[in-house]
Amino acid sequence: MPRFVDAAARRREIVEAVKRIVAADGLARVSLREVAAEAGLAVGSVRHYFDTAEELRVHAFEVVAEDVARRVEAQDDLVAQLCQLLPLDEARAVDLCVLTAFRLAARTDPALLPVADAAHARVAAVVGRSVRAALPDVEAHGLVAEAERLLATVEGLALHALVHGRWLDAELCLAVVAAQAATLGRVPIT
């Protein structure tokens, strides 16, 4: 009797293998063969869901970007939203490491660029709504500038925390985010 395989669960299992590979060794090691080995599957099982390594990379990027965006969207206040973009626990650290690798690869990989653009736009919209709530009278240019300033600060902080986590711990990251949020509307926008 054939065993039923939940396609969504199997695709997620494959994405989790991609995440482990990227977090440990970077995107260069993501191939159908490597991912199959990491997931404990036959290459044919991975090929059943993804015809090419590019298709697999795009899907994995979409899934990770979706996971991060959902965590940001689930928060009610600006600081909590921004904290979802920081490696404050193992799950966020892995997702942000993988997300950063894919976003950097999107600079030179046209297949990844639409995912990078959509992921940024989605998170920026959430942060922008929070900025709008805090600064209801700010004009559109100022709103975008404030949201991008906060995102750039947090994304830079996340990168520093991923690389220098020995001294840039969660407490310090939270203090930086709180300090940046406190400057909302006070930084001159030209």
pLDDT digits (tens, 9 = 90+) for 122-180: 999 999 999 999 989 988 888 899 999 999 999 999 999 999 877 888 889 999 999 99
Q: Is residue 139 part of a domain?
A: yes
| Alpha carbon distances (Å) from 72 to 54, 68, 162, 163 | 27, 6, 19, 22
Helix runs in the chain, H state only: 7-25, 32-39, 43-49, 53-73, 78-83, 90-105, 113-134, 140-163, 170-182
CATH code assigned at 125: 1.10.357.10
Q: Is residue 151 part of a domain?
A: yes
The per-residue pLDDT for 165 is 76
pLDDT at residue 84 is higher than 80? yes
Angle at 13 between CA 90 and CA 95, to 5 degrees: 30
pLDDT tens sequence across 11-56 = 999 999 999 999 999 999 999 999 999 999 999 999 999 999 999 9
Q: Is residue 94 part of a domain?
A: yes
Overall number of domains in the chain: 1
Q: Is residue 85 part of a domain?
A: yes
pLDDT at residue 187 is higher than 90? no
Tokens of 113: 């660029």
Q: How confident is the model at residue 72 (pLDDT cuts 50, 70, 90)?
A: very high
Query: Can you give the residue range of the structural domain that contains 79?
Result: 54-182
Q: Is residue 42 part of a domain?
A: no
Coil vs helix vs strand at 117: helix
Question: What's the whole-model pTM score?
Answer: 0.91
Q: Is residue 12 part of a domain?
A: no
The per-residue pLDDT for 2 is 57
The per-residue pLDDT for 190 is 53
Q: Is residue 44 part of a domain?
A: no
pLDDT tens sequence across 90-111 = 999 999 999 999 999 999 999 9
pLDDT tens sequence across 53-71 = 999 999 999 999 999 999 9
Task: Count CA within 13 A, CB hemisphere, residue 120.
Answer: 18
Task: Compute the radius of gyration of the chain from its Cα atoms.
Answer: 19
Q: Is residue 25 part of a domain?
A: no
